[in-house]
Amino acid sequence: MLVAGSLIKRVGKRLFQFPVGTVPAEYKFSRNEHQSVIKARTDDEKDHILETLCEKKSLLLQTCTPTGSIRYCTSCMHIKPDRTHHCSSCERCFLKMDHHCPWVNNCIGFRNYKSFILLMFYTFLYCAFYVSTIIPHIISPWGHSKFAEDLPISIGFGFAAIMGLTTFGFMCYHLYLTSTNETTLEKVHPPHFVEEDLSYDLGTMQNMVTEHTPWGDIL
């Protein structure tokens, strides 16, 4: 139990401190370039300016807006790389953003997604261990419940059971997203590719390897 608690603390600390994944400098615009974009009178003029700047910076993009335009963030003043989204809570754009997690007060994305899944896994183990060890205490060998006699322990038992089931459900869902190489945002709002045959799905095994190995061993 102490080991699980230590792992939760360690991974949780990484979620608080790890950068989610900032947009590379080559995607950012100067103030003059940004002004030229926002002062465009028509959408066609804006698209032309963005396309010119993309060619100038040699940016390769696989996704676009539903209308076929280049994805641009007016708040952060840069072209959005593929799978990048703007978080209204953090007021920043993050690479491969999955969602903003209020529990860790940070966005979950490219750099800390593995830590997020590990946090759910260790939390589930911690809750499962607590529930399994407390059952013999609150239920006698003769089948007589002691819930009323040990109310604080019973409340802890219920909280751990609910938390364990909840984190297990979230963990399974995110493992499913990992197997399909999708994010929560992409599941809700599928990306629009510039070509119909493009996809992020590399196959289940390759998706899992790509998702969980690039950032080093957290343990």
Q: Based on the residue annotation, tell me whether 93 is a catalytic residue of this protein.
A: no
Catalytic residue among 90, 101, 127, 172: 101
Q: Using an 8 Å Cβ cutoff, are 92 and 21 in contact?
A: no
SS3 letters for the chain? Answer: CHHHHHHHHHHHHHHHHCCCCCCCHHHECCHHHHHHHHCCCCHHHHHHHHHHHHHHHCCCCCEECCCCCCCEECCCCEECCCCCEEECCCCEEECCCCEEECCCCEEECCCCHHHHHHHHHHHHHHHHHHHHHHHHHHECCCCCECCCCCHHHHHHHHHHHHHHHHHHHHHHHHHHHHHHCCCHHHHHCCCEECCCCCCCCCCHHHHHHHHHCCCCCCC
Which are the catalytic amino acids?
101
